[in-house]
Amino acid sequence: MQLIKIVASAWFILSGIGVQAHELPLVQVHGNKFITPDNQVVVFKGVSASDPFKLQEQGHWDKAYFTEIKKWGANIVRLPVHPANWRALGNEAYCKLLDAGIQWATELQLYIIIDWHSIGNLQTGKFFRPSYHTTQDETNNFWRTMAKRYGRHTTVAFFELFNEPVKSGEFGECSWLEWKTLQETMISIIRGEGATTVPLVAGFNWGYDLIEAGTNPIDATGIGYVSHPYPMKRDKPWAEKWTTDWGFMAAHYPVILTEIGFSGHEEKGAHIPVISDELYGEAIVNYCNAKGISYTVWCFDPDWAPMLISDWQFNVTRQGKFFKQTWLKK
């Protein structure tokens, strides 16, 4: 396994950001869609990995992991980078993990989202758990590093600027104008490095609500918006409420739901707001299909709920069975 990592890192260093024959087409924004240079519309359906640091520690950061995801019919993998793990491993060592993952994804024709996986209030510096703790300076420097290293690598389609922002309550107050300014600063940093990667912006309520983004959009072109509409964020029936809260944005901007998923109440790790059943799965897939909305399901890991797999033999959980069957029958 160590040899694989060395070879993958060496490939990335030698190739830099030059286009290889097997690299994926560049993803760009055109109106409310993601497109390739030949004007083909791309709708993304895939999974969120667990943190590459966690996978490496458990011996599962390897091509076999990506190969299994590809077998399910996915076309994208989200890589959540927790600030605490970024600091623990160090920038260069962590980037070598990303180098390897991006190489495997490229070989398998899977796009990548790099996600700065924090939950809380970046304005006040209050966060949900210690693993999510970061600062504005660290966040900006993270995106500067990502833009320099991967900003022209076409496999890396998206930079998800901040996982789940929270605006009030125990985390302190953050206005939309303050959040908007923070996001625009990150985008300016990324663009200042010449990156062609599409930035993704989340709204408040733990990355769910885009209402304020609709009334006062981010002052930048070529971006997408994010929502995390887990089943318990709203009561059934969902569709009309989803449209009010975030789905309306899909008429004007590309939208990608970078976390969806459900867990039966009887399953390991079941918790608010993810407890539901296949009716939610059918509702969110049908809603996305009708509106051309992309999504990634949380989480391709047997430990982080709601799980898609129950073990490292890749046996499926309840939602894993649903999404795998949904994708493979298309």
Q: Is residue 112 part of a domain?
A: yes
Considering only CA atoms, give the Rg of the chain: 18
CA distance 267 to 55: 22
pLDDT at residue 240 is higher than 90: yes
Q: Is residue 18 part of a domain?
A: no
What integer is the mean pLDDT of 297-305?
98
For 73, the token pair is: 């019919």
pLDDT at residue 18 is higher than 50: no
pLDDT at residue 200 is higher than 50: yes
Sign of CA dihedral 105, 186, 36, 152: negative
CA distance 186 to 144: 8
pLDDT at residue 251 is higher than 90: yes
pLDDT at residue 2 is higher than 70: no
Instruction: Find where tokens 């667990």 sit.
Output: 50
pLDDT at residue 13 is higher than 50: no
| Number of domains the chain contains | 1
Q: Is residue 17 part of a domain?
A: no
Output the pTM of the full model: 0.93
Q: Say what the pLDDT of residue 330 is.
A: 61
CATH assignment of the domain containing 294: 3.20.20.80
Full domain range(s) for residue 94: 28-328
Residue 156 DSSP SS3: strand
Give the mean pLDDT of the chain: 93
Residues 6+ apart with CB under 8 A from 326: 281, 285
Contact 233, 203 (CB under 8 A): no
Which residue type is seen at 222? G
Q: Is residue 1 part of a domain?
A: no
Which of 223, 308, 222 minimizes the C-alpha distance to 261?
308
Contact 57, 309 (CB under 8 A): no
Q: Is residue 21 part of a domain?
A: no
Q: Is residue 260 part of a domain?
A: yes
